Amino acid sequence: MNIFSAKEIYEWEKYTKNQSMISSLQLMERAAKCCTIWIANHFSNSSDILLFCGSGNNGGDGFALARLLYHPGFNIKIFTDQTQDFTEEALINLQRCKDISGIEIYDLSQRKEISTDKNTLIIDALFGLGLNRKLVDPIASLIIYLNTLNCRKISIDLPSGLFPDSIHEENAVVFLADYTLTFQCWKKTMLHPETAFYCGSIQIMEIDLSAEFCLDNSTFENTIDDTLIKKIYQPRKDFSHKGTFGKSLIIAGTFGKIGASVLATKAALKSGSGITFVLAPKCGYEILQTSCPEAMFILGGENHIDHIEIEEDYVIGIGPGLEVNSATEKVFLKFLKNSKKPMVIDADALNILAKNPEYLNSLPPNSVITPHPKEFERLFGATENSFGRLKLAQQKAAEFKIFIILKDHHTQIVTPDQRVFYNLTGNSGMAKGGSGDALLGIVTSLIAQNYSPENAAIFGVWLHGKAGDLAAEKFSKEAMLPSDLIDELGNAFKFLI
């Protein structure tokens, strides 16, 4: 799914109105109806609904929503500043509310005269996508007050005070929503930790904006949706054999960290690798042969990896649990310099690269690196926030012709041509040591199965997150383990059948 900027969304709406011969008012009504249905289904026990509406089209959405929510029997109170200059559509919908005697309309300054309880629902329709400046009083004070109230809160399209495409200013006032009902597509700030926090649970409201516009206006930033994954997924053909699905080699582990080798190897096996090998030190031999009997063991040293001797037709995943020591560092850098095929690199292999940045130029083109924020910082330098980190990742992906998987709540896959894919699967239960090892095994396995490195990165991250969601559902976010995630990979694949 495309991620459009605020400017592009306005063009999208304009295109839809011209192609479908509908007015702005009709499009506003369509949006309000979608929100009404969702709210009526989820908040039927609410006593009062308090709508705070601005003078622009976001306020117009709020006025239309107030009128539509009144008919199912909700007790509606509107707060707005009628001294402002309203847009034509907002003014029409405000007048429609005035024509209904049961809807109470108050000035924004009267907000403290209304009592609330835990069943009260507050709806924020003050500002939408058009905001490009820090909020000031009296609106800032209003939002600060609303944020203190102990009741459920919904924002329409985007929480007031939040910018759609960039991070807000320091100490800015932003409405803190429990839910955000946004229209047609995700906005960039809904996908970054510093800003998504204000959105709560995000619900995409389909209002039938033109599909043709999306086809004709591809974007550099996208979300990974089920449609994309089903296009990437390659179902197995009946007349195939283990050689059809490639050879994966996991290079991982040191004394005390053989668990990383186990997790990465099991993930490669569970995600479809035809023939799977694990190169590890001798101290992990019995553990790996017992826990991963389907994988073949290659000796890489005694207590840590100090030599790598392999055939040329493997797809390599390297890094989990390696430990940064002189012997392993030396052998990895030599191996990297002589490698030509794309590989998947994580954990201590990335930390070795961070110590030896001149070797970044030795990365085989189309390789995949999978850093978490601290590993990324060690590799490429600190940034002010996740927006800056993403921009830097785009530069480095282009410079080194590699794919970068930036691990986060909404993990980003960055391509050498600087496109970005935000993942929507996964949960905080995956924030445990070992989850990254599983991801390395999955992506390595998919490349071995002849997925392109780009598709392997996109599909691998989605699959990893989907299996994590299934594990959290079964065991809870607190109790689920990375090994539970790996065990759920089969059910994640079944989702695609």
- Give the dihedral sign, CA 75/81/87/92: positive
- Alpha-carbon gap, residue 71 to 36, rounded angstroms: 10
List pLDDT tens digits, range 276-288.
999 999 999 999 9
Average pLDDT on 8-23 reads: 93
What's the pLDDT score for residue 100?
Answer: 94
pLDDT band at 71 (very low <50, low <70, confident <90, very high): confident
Is residue 213 one of the residues assigned to a domain?
Answer: yes
**Residue 243 sits in the same domain as residue 361:** yes
* Percent share of the chain, pLDDT over 90: 86
Distance CA(441)–CA(38), nearest Å, equals 40
pLDDT of residue 379: 97
Cβ atoms of 149 and 172 within 8 Å: the answer is: no
Domain boundary residue, one of 187, 219, 251:
219
With vertex at residue 131, the alpha carbon angle to CA 406 and CA 425, rounded to the nearest 5 degrees, is 30
Task: For residue 118, name the pLDDT band (cuts at 50, 70, 90).
Answer: confident
* Domain end (from 193, 219, 245): 219
The answer to whether residue 1 is domain-embedded is no
Residue 130: is its pLDDT beyond 90?
A: no
Q: What would the pLDDT profile of 188-205 be if each residue is shown by its tens digit?
A: 999 999 999 999 999 999
Confidence of residue 215 (pLDDT cuts 50, 70, 90): confident
CA dist., res. 404 & res. 415, Å (int): 7
Mean pLDDT over 324-341 rounds to 92
Q: What is the pLDDT of residue 451?
A: 97
pLDDT above 70 covers a percentage of the chain that reads 100
Mean pLDDT of 123-142: 91
pLDDT value of position 26: 94
Model confidence band, residue 24 (pLDDT cutoffs 50, 70, 90)? very high
Q: What is the pLDDT of residues 146-158, one digit of tens each?
A: 999 999 999 999 9
Q: Which amino acid is at 147?
A: N
Mean per-residue pLDDT over the chain, rounded: 94
**What's residue 61's pLDDT?**
96
Q: How far apart are the first and last CA of the chain?
A: 21
Q: Encoding tokens for residue 494?
A: 């079944």
Instruction: For residues 139 and 250, state if they share a domain.
Output: no
Q: What is the CA radius of gyration of the chain?
A: 26
State residue 115's pLDDT score: 81
Q: Is the pLDDT of residue 104 over 80?
A: yes
Q: What does the pLDDT average to over 307-330? A: 90
Q: 177 φ, ψ to 5°?
A: -95, 150
Top-confidence residue, 70 or 130: 70
Tell whether 353 is covered by a domain. Answer: yes
Flag whether 420 is in a domain: yes
Give pLDDT tens digits for 222-241.
999 999 999 999 998 888 88
CATH of the domain at 436: 3.40.1190.20
CATH number for position 137: 3.40.50.10260
Same domain, 354 and 377: yes
Examine residue 237 and state whether it is found in any structural domain, yes or no: yes
What is the span of the domain harbouring residue 272? 228-494
Mean pLDDT of 5-15: 93
pLDDT at residue 477, as a whole number: 97
Look at residue 339 and tell me if it is in a domain: yes
Say if residue 397's pLDDT is above 90: yes
Residue 220 has what pLDDT? 93
Average pLDDT over residues 251-265: 96
140 and 275, same structural domain? no
Q: How confident is the model at residue 244 (pLDDT cuts 50, 70, 90)?
A: confident
Query: Distance of CA 308 to CAs 131, 152, 273, Å?
Result: 56, 58, 21
Identify whether residues 262 and 364 lie together within a single domain. yes
The pLDDT, as a whole number, for residue 78 is 96
Same domain, 47 and 136: yes
Rounded to 5°, the CA angle 267-273-277 comes to: 80
Query: Is residue 267 one of the residues assigned to a domain?
Result: yes
Report the phi/psi class of residue 303: left, alpha or beta, with left for phi > 0 and alpha for psi in -120 to 50: alpha
CA distance 174 to 172: 6
Confidence of residue 311 (pLDDT cuts 50, 70, 90): confident
Q: What is the reported pTM?
A: 0.94
The CA-atom distances, in angstroms, between 244 and each of 230, 273, 448, 495 are: 21, 9, 9, 23
What per-residue confidence (pLDDT) applies to 243?
76
241 and 192, same domain (yes or no): no
Lookup: tokens for 495: 């989702």
295 — pLDDT class (breaks 50, 70, 90): very high
Residue 312 confidence (pLDDT) above 80 = no
Q: Which two tokens stand for residue 373?
A: 């924020």
Pairing of strands 412-414, 403-406: antiparallel
Structure tokens at 230: 């089903």
Output the pLDDT for position 246.
86
Count of domains observed in the chain: 2
Are 283 and 339 members of one domain? yes
Q: Are 51 and 77 in contact (CB under 8 A)?
A: yes
Per-residue confidence (pLDDT) for residue 361, from 0 to 100: 96
**Do 62 and 130 share a domain, yes or no?**
yes
Residues 306 and 197 grouped into a single domain: no
- Pair 258, 137 in one domain: no
309 within a domain of the structure (yes/no): yes
Render pLDDT for 151-182 as a digit per residue (tens, 0 to 9): 999 999 999 999 999 998 888 999 999 999 99
pLDDT at 168: 86
Whether residue 111 has pLDDT greater than 80:
no
Mark whether 182 and 292 lie in a shared domain: no
pLDDT of residue 401: 98
HSE-up of residue 471 (Cα within 13 Å, Cβ side): 28
Mean pLDDT over 458-462 rounds to 98
Name the token pair of 149. Answer: 């109230």
Residue ending a domain, choose from 176, 194, 219: 219
The pLDDT-based confidence of 463 (bands split at 50, 70, 90) is: very high
Question: Which residues 6+ apart lie within 8 Å of 16 measured at CB?
Answer: 22, 27, 208, 209, 210, 213
